[in-house]
Amino acid sequence: MKSRLPSWWARVRSRLRPPRTLKVTRIGRTYLVVTFGVGLGALNTGNNLLYLLLGLLLSMVVVSGVLSERCLRYLSVRRVGADAAFAQEPFAFRWALSRGHGHAFALTLSETGSPLTGTGGVGYLPAGVEHVVRADLTAPQRGPVLLTGVRVTTTWPLGLFAKTRTFPLESTLLVYPRRTYACQDPGAPEQGPVGDAGNPRRNDGNGDLSGLRELAPGEDARRIHWMKSASAGKLLRVEREREERRTFMLTVADGLDAEALERRCEEVAALAHRLIEEGHEVGLDTPEERLRPAAGTAQERRLLRVLAWLGHARPRGDEEAA
């Protein structure tokens, strides 16, 4: 648990934090080495042309800093978010970027202070236009991810330095369990006098007529087609297209360790996806929450949300970016 720092210390830290961070790129490192070499050569030989070249190289460094700073000014960023984020697979994430005035070039956006990996980029951002930047991000694991800010980086104009500005923007992204293959069977569907699922006729099908076959022992006599049986001299039963909609209740047991819990969540998510795709109703029973069975994509989203929060403390507002 984090210790609560005094507010004055937070203020001091925020004041000491540089407004921009600068990182030398690979080509920039070589550029600096060459500049250093030219400087040594100029000092050694007194060759004025080397001094001129050195002046040009150093000026380009300064101009690079000024132009990149102009690029990062007057920017505003809004987090649009993702439709659905699954762990360990790329998901589309969006930011809306706009600029008060002037142009910006070669901006790269990413989330700062979070385990999300991946960047989105925009080549040219004119003034007064909101540009939606899309990125394929990847989250390492399931659960809520606290997003503290958006990092905007530019290598404009020469690619020698990567200057970064961080926009503080707090939000939470809920990452669903990894989509994997469900190895285990979901188990028997629920039976009982509840709705269609409790009707035994439902198991024999109640759709359109699909054929006739001889009645097997123990089968429901109400399915016999008496006229055809009379003409055939044996008991024939009607076969109808069956409605496959069943009700399943998936469970996540209590007391699982972290790894087992993760594996179970992924399995349940996969099962739920498969069953809902097949048209079944799926419910979820976890130590923290119980979700009533239902069908459809909305139910799948509800299941995923419950699975994503499993094992994590859920805030009161339940705010999330996704």
Residues that bind other proteins (CB under 8 A): 26-27, 30-31, 34, 37-38, 41-60, 62-64, 66-67, 70, 76, 98, 100-101, 103, 105-108, 121-124, 126, 128, 130, 155-159
Of 63, 139, 70, residue with least CA distance to 103? 70
State residue 285 phi and psi, 5-degree precision.
-125, 115
| Residue 30 or 191 with smaller CB distance to other proteins | 30
CB 207 within 8 A of CB 240: yes
| Residue 156 or 248 with smaller CB distance to other proteins | 156
Nearest-angstrom CA–CA distance, 38 and 44? 10
Cβ-based neighbours of 34, under 8 Å, separated by 6 or more: 57
Nearest approach in angstroms of CB 98 to other proteins is 6
| Residue 158 or 238 with smaller CB distance to other proteins | 158
Nearest approach in angstroms of CB 82 to other proteins is 18
| Residue 63 or 230 with smaller CB distance to other proteins | 63
Nearest approach in angstroms of CB 79 to other proteins is 14
Per DSSP, the residues of 88-118 read TS-EEEEEEEEESSS-EEEEEEEEESSS-B-
State residue 294 phi and psi, 5-degree precision.
-160, 165
Nearest approach in angstroms of CB 86 to other proteins is 23
Nearest-angstrom CA–CA distance, 167 and 150? 5
| Residue 123 or 296 with smaller CB distance to other proteins | 123
| Residue 43 or 230 with smaller CB distance to other proteins | 43
Kindly state the tokens that stand for 151: 């990092």
| Residue 41 or 189 with smaller CB distance to other proteins | 41
Nearest approach in angstroms of CB 100 to other proteins is 7
Nearest approach in angstroms of CB 114 to other proteins is 22
Nearest approach in angstroms of CB 43 to other proteins is 5
Rg (CA), the chain: 32
Of 273, 93, 111, residue with least CA distance to 181? 273
Nearest approach in angstroms of CB 164 to other proteins is 14
Cα 87 → chain centroid: 6
Of 177, 178, 182, residue with least CA distance to 267? 182
| Residue 90 or 189 with smaller CB distance to other proteins | 90
Nearest-angstrom CA–CA distance, 89 and 106? 26
SS3 content of the chain, % helix, strand, coil (to 5): 35, 35, 35
